[in-house]
Amino acid sequence: MRVLAAMSGGVDSAVAAALAVEAGHDVVGVHMALSRNRDQFRTGSRGCCSIEDAGDARRAADVLGIPYYVWDLSERFEDTVVADFLSEYEAGRTPNPCVRCNEHIKFEALLDKATALGFDAVATGHYARVVTREVTSPGPDGTVATSTVRELHRSPNEAKDQSYVLAVMGPVRLARAIFPLGGFESKDEVRAEAARRGLSVSAKPDSYDICFVADGDTQGFLRSRLGARTGEIVDASGEVLGEHDGAYAYTVGQRKGLGIDRPASDGRPRYVLEVQPTANRVVVGPAELLSVDRISGDRAVWLADDVLATASGDGWFDAQVQVRAHGTPVAARVRATGADDEGMEVELVGTTLRGVAAGQSLVVYDGTRVLGQATVQRAHRAHRAPARPTDPTAAHTNAGTGS
């Protein structure tokens, strides 16, 4: 196959490209320049897309003996991933930019461009597995039809598993994706593989946090783009406790940096319960009001038509759900909603989740298999809160912990 290898300049993508070459594919390396103002060097493990990263990717491609190109996708990245990040926070929601990057850049812009250029697949350094199995079904005239199904599964390296951020890619793009690191059980194995192949990035630090917020100051980034907007911080009953510079800088479940000088009367810590963007108000309260037992999602993407087809008469099926990249999956009942299964309803079974915010990615699993993904639209509290002031748009854009 002709394979386009996405090479970030890190060890994972370099080893993934090497394994694609070793598998006998005709491989071309490409580095995606996603920043409009690239620095010469990264700041430790923060940030990406520096000139240093592009150079590291080029050197890896030279060692592998494959062609190498740099594609400028910075405008697309700014107009999709960064714009979504800003608009979601401005709407009182909590986005996951890594999910949107995989959706709009790596498995939309990159894969679509690769397909247009005649490549059969894109290889990336993600930690996830693709499992292929044969499925038989009754055909016309009593015949039996056999088809091949590709399933997305967790990586055996639980600490690095990235199936959560890949779930949004959908079955069509999954069919053209290769994850050569799927079988590795530890990052040390990957680094050893890189060293054995003479790749200079074998000891390069991992990047982390939000790549386009290189200094790690998310609130500062939001303030620089959205401006300061003074508003109230109130408790669940509406009593004013303090002021903030912008409700967009707060997220459901946040405890630190609330800017409240007065301790709670019972001495217990306060958490952000809700962000009301229209009123520019932040609601805080005790931890028990963060617990939710039902979640509604939209923009659903399904990777398991077989599971949906065999669900009960009312559409419910048993699964596990996860609401954070490295969160713990919990038991739930799940069903698709809407005419085109574009929605999702989740009822947690025998447990609750804390601090679920609108805008987060909700991923559904059956063991290691990814069944689907949706964006949290609303999370429903397991415990009632006292009456409080409401935001006219709360049903659509609040932080998702309404009763």
Q: Give the active site residues.
A: 101, 211
Q: Within 13 A of 180's CA, how many CA atoms are on the CB side? A: 28
**CA–CA separation, 59 vs 53, rounded Å?**
10
Structure-block tokens of residue 232: 């109230």
Sign of CA dihedral 199, 203, 204, 209: positive
Tokens 């960064």, residue? 82
**CA–CA separation, 219 vs 239, rounded Å?**
25
Find the angle CA(313)-CA(321)-CA(360) to the nearest 5 degrees: 115
Are the C-beta atoms of residues 325 and 160 closer than 8 Å to each other?
no
Are the C-beta atoms of residues 109 and 73 closer than 8 Å to each other?
yes
Q: Within 13 A of 313's CA, how many CA atoms are on the CB side? A: 0
Write down how long the chain is: 403
Structure-block tokens of residue 110: 């990159």
Neighbours of 188 (CB within 10 A): 10
Residues 6+ apart with CB under 8 A from 103: 168, 169
Report residue 383: phi and psi, to 5°: -125, 140
